[in-house]
Amino acid sequence: MTAGRGGGRAARIAREARSPTPGMPGVTSHGGRNFEPLTESDVARIHRAALRVLETVGMGMLGEQPPGVKAMLEQGATLDAHGRVRIPEALVEDALAGACRHWTLHALDLDRALEIAPGQTHYGTAGGAVSILDFHQRHYRDTTLVDLYDAARLIDTLANISWCYRPLVARDLDSLRALDVNTAYALAAGTTKPWGITFSLPQSVAPVIELFEMARGRPGSFFAEPCCHSVQGAGVPPLQYAYDRCLIKEAVIRAGVPLMIASAPQAGATAPAALAGTMVQVVAEALAGLVYVQAIAPGHPITFAPWPFVSDLRTGAMSGGSAEQALLMGAAAQMGHFYDLPCSVAAGMTDAKIADAQAGFEKASTNLIAGIAGAGMVHESAGMHASLLGCALESFVIDNEMLGGIKRAVRGIEVNDETLSLQTIAEVNVEGPGHYLGHQQTLALMQSEYHYPALSDRQAPAAWQDSGSSDILERARTVALETLSSHYPDHLAGSLDRKIRERFDIHLAPARMRPGSHWAKSEPTVTGST
């Protein structure tokens, strides 16, 4: 793939943003589970309450009876007089016992594959924003296919963002089939990291998988080595299976796509206002999704994804950056640990419209709590604004910086005979210089023990003023522009791209996929057109 241009402070910052600190993995953080908003008794009570909801309230059905319900009925579920699917405790426990607990999310770049299992924390994108803060004009506009491609190739360079799940929707496409196929193409062309996509049609699944296999150059390889995962909800809150979404879910399963069993009710709107009640419902919905999957494809790779969202009860609007949101996602991670399942939560969903102080503290608090609670896959963690309605390219750069620090915090403090430093303390203070600056331990640990940000300013005030008095948003915009002007991945170049375009109706113009005036730093043009 094409490397970024070198030279100058902007290029240095861009290089540092693309490369993790030596000894600080950019892919995985291990640890967490240092924050538990629920007691053991609370967790058990929520579990029992969720089982009771499934047994006594059950799942309704939007539209026709989904095919998977027949398999559930054959395995012990029942239909009540209201047409709701009652799920007994035994069926839930069987589903939990047989669920997949470890799988690999592969990538075009083999070194970027992710192990998905309890006890491992990864941060990545998602969202499906419908508007973007235009990089040049500085106002929100509808998202386009070019925006998606630009976001993917920017994310490709950011070391602390581990996968590129579609962060925005290409609203300039005229059909759902075109949306699904072109979303897949933009992701495949933009990054060699693992991909993620939410399908709009069951008929799109097979061609998208074919496109991914063509991009990989290995027809028939996806089922054994999936390089894409998909959020296909457990149901529609409150407590309903949706026929059309279930058809997509089953197509995804047949294709071998790892499945996020997500439920996203909104407290006070589609879930109880009581946070404990929201947890009961979201766990019940996620368990109902797991039972559905296990009934038709036992052991299919999944992540358990209770995503309880929050309403501002004054307006009814979603409040993704709230303290309550952080608490609920911490609790969701706890429930994932209780079930010993790979668990996904959503964090980093600021309500702010730009990368300001509000965005900073909301994103940091929700992402940090998700990490120290031990969530497995943290979606929405970068780039998103306006409670998922909007996104901003420069925010991916800032949030990558934030995630580097958070991953260091999640890793915790290693305590052993060497790190307790008794010998070092004695050497420095008894016969040494009285400081640790040049000690061999300091030199040995300065890269592995500490995280060094690329964008954050640590200068003295006078030095900061002499260097231009820039803030982090200015520096992030410089990095984003430098990257977008130069980093055009070429792993789909030549005959491979031609074959894909001959097979599929690709709307992303080749001229937009190479250096040129589209992102020339001297030409502040509108970037929306494909």
Residue 362 has pLDDT above 50, yes or no: yes
**pTM for the full predicted model:** 0.91
Residues in the chain: 530
At 429-474, the pLDDT tens digits run 999 999 999 999 999 999 999 999 999 999 999 999 999 999 999 9
At 136-192, the pLDDT tens digits run 999 999 999 999 999 999 999 999 999 999 999 999 999 999 999 999 999 999 999
Locate the DSSP E strands across 200-249.
Answer: 228-231, 240-242
Q: Is residue 43 within a helix (H) or strand (E), and if so which, with residue range?
A: helix 40-56
Question: Percent of the chain, pLDDT > 70?
Answer: 92
Q: Which of 326, 324, 421 has the alpha carbon at shortest distance from 378?
A: 326
Q: Is residue 189 within a helix (H) or strand (E), and if so which, with residue range?
A: helix 176-190
Q: Which of 160, 168, 170, 169 has the alpha carbon at shortest distance from 124?
A: 160
User: What is the end-to-end Cα distance of the chain in Å, rounded?
Assistant: 22
DSSP lists the bridge partners of residue 241 as 61
Cα–Cα dist 149/132, whole Å: 13
Q: Is residue 122 within a helix (H) or strand (E), and if so which, with residue range?
A: strand 120-123
Cα–Cα dist 453/399, whole Å: 11
Mapping DSSP onto H, E and C, the string for 245-311 reads HHHHHHHHHHCCCCEEEEECCEECCCECCCHHHHHHHHHHHHHHHHHHHHHHCCCCCEEEEECCEEE
Cα–Cα dist 371/335, whole Å: 14
Cα–Cα dist 302/261, whole Å: 7
What is the model's pLDDT at position 218? 87
Cα–Cα dist 49/36, whole Å: 19
What is the model's pLDDT at position 22? 38
CB 282 within 8 Å of CB 306: yes
Residue 114 has pLDDT above 70, yes or no: yes
> What residues contact residue 420 under an 8 Å CB cut-off, 6+ apart?
none
- Among the residue ranges 16-25, 294-303, 352-361, 395-404, the one predicted with the least confidence is 16-25
**How big is the CA angle at 198 (ends 197 and 204), to the nearest 5 degrees?**
90
At 482-496, the pLDDT tens digits run 999 999 999 998 999
Q: Which of 97, 61, 59, 100 has the alpha carbon at shortest distance from 77?
A: 59
What is the model's pLDDT at position 517? 62
| 37-60 average pLDDT score | 98
Amino acid at 408: R
Q: What does each C-alpha distance from 329 to 278, 284, 285 come to in angstroms?
A: 11, 15, 15
Cα–Cα dist 310/267, whole Å: 5
Tokens of 162: 């581990």
> What residues contact residue 297 under an 8 Å CB cut-off, 6+ apart?
253, 254
Q: Where are the domains of the chain?
A: 29-33+99-410
Locate the DSSP E strands across 281-431.
Answer: 302-306, 309-312, 317-318, 344-346, 377-379, 384-385, 390-391
| 334-358 average pLDDT score | 96
User: Would you call the peptide bond into 118 cis, given omega within 30 degrees of 0 as the criterion?
Assistant: no
Cα–Cα dist 197/168, whole Å: 10
With bands split at pLDDT 50, 70 and 90, how would you rate the model's confidence at 518?
confident
**Which CATH fold topology does 29-33+99-410 show?**
TIM Barrel (3.20.20)
CB 134 within 8 Å of CB 96: no
CB 381 within 8 Å of CB 125: yes
